[in-house]
Amino acid sequence: MAARLKKLSDQVIVITGASSGIGLKTARMAASRGARLMLAARNEPALRVLTDEIVREGGSATYVVADVGKEEDVKAVAQAAVERFGGFDTWVNDAGAAIYGHLTEVATPDSRRLFETNFWGVVYGSLEAARYFRTRDGAYAGAIINLGSILSDRAIPIIGMYCASKHAVKGFTDALRMELEEEGVPVSVSLIKPSSIDTPFPQHARNYMDQEPTLPPPLYAPDVVARTILHCAETPVRDVTVGAGGKVLVVMGQIAPRITDKFMEATLPRAQKKGEPPRDPKGALYAPTFGLKERGDYSGPVLESSLYTAACLHPMLVAALGLGAGLTVAALLRRKPQSRIGFG
């Protein structure tokens, strides 16, 4: 039986990485829909401003300064949610870090630090949420939502360690889902795999390149991912790719892996360089930099919606619309004389 999840307006949601990008957009969107929020990130000034903004607009939120790469910090987030709100209904593991550079150039401590955030942060958060949901009483299940990437399914050059961490997130999430389901724990476990998203991801990355990094097109707005996250908070979804652009890349790799390798080798190293001198190469790998920005500085077109993702999340609605359109066309055709149909 599918897990039964609360309406968003009745939920307490924990969001890590809430001070920037997808996490920031998700927090604002969830607050506007009535959810109460426990926000977590390393950037205390940004969290304070965001919390004040939400409360000023009539919402309910509090925050904990936390580095998700530290298990004790993640435990403190869960404890704060219990103390402030009596518990939580959805846990979103969004915090992430990135490194641009060839794998042979990246220092081992940097790679380890990335994994502490991207992988171990997800592990700590997921297990803390699972422990809570295992003991929680009530008619409703909880939700664990992990942010993977299309790079969970298909690696690309230049950000190889990030790809490795997202592959690990996928493996962990899939295994956790099966184990909790087998135990009968009332929880929905979702993996969300965004394509390139217009966030400050490149500006926050550790950069080994001789140019400022950027994201390869097509890019989607963080709103598309935030809507997907909140959908999964209310409706059990196993996994979903955000953006058809990313899905095409994954399918190419499955159908013709060697051809896809060659295509990526020829295009993606250049596509991830902005053509400008690099800014602070350290980025936010070890310490927070700026916050409160949902979007990055990408200068090209950004897609504000994804029909592909909407179809994945609402297959029955899409089928109904398709059926309705088909019936309408059929009715119109039946009304016209055969000589005017135009089939030659």
Bin 86: left if φ > 0, else alpha if -120 < ψ < 50, else beta.
Answer: left
63 assigned to active site: no
Residues 6+ apart with CB under 8 A from 148: 166, 169, 170, 173, 191, 192, 193, 239
User: Whole-angstrom Cα distance, residue 175 to residue 170?
Assistant: 9
Q: Which two tokens stand for residue 105?
A: 């150039």
Cβ contact 155:263 at 8 Å:
no
Of 222, 235, 240, 246, nearest to 310 by C-alpha is 240
Looking up tokens 């998203």 gives: 197
Q: Which of 124, 162, 220, 298 is catalytic?
A: 162
Can you say whether the dihedral through the CA atoms of 191, 195, 200, 203 is positive or negative?
positive
Q: 170: helix, coil or strand?
A: helix
H or E segment at 325?
A: helix 315-335
Other C-beta atoms within 10 Å of 192: how many? 26
* Beta pairing, strands 302-303 & 219-220: parallel
Amino acid at the residue 248:
V
Of 7, 47, 42, 44, nearest to 24 by C-alpha is 47
Q: Which residues are catalytic?
A: 162
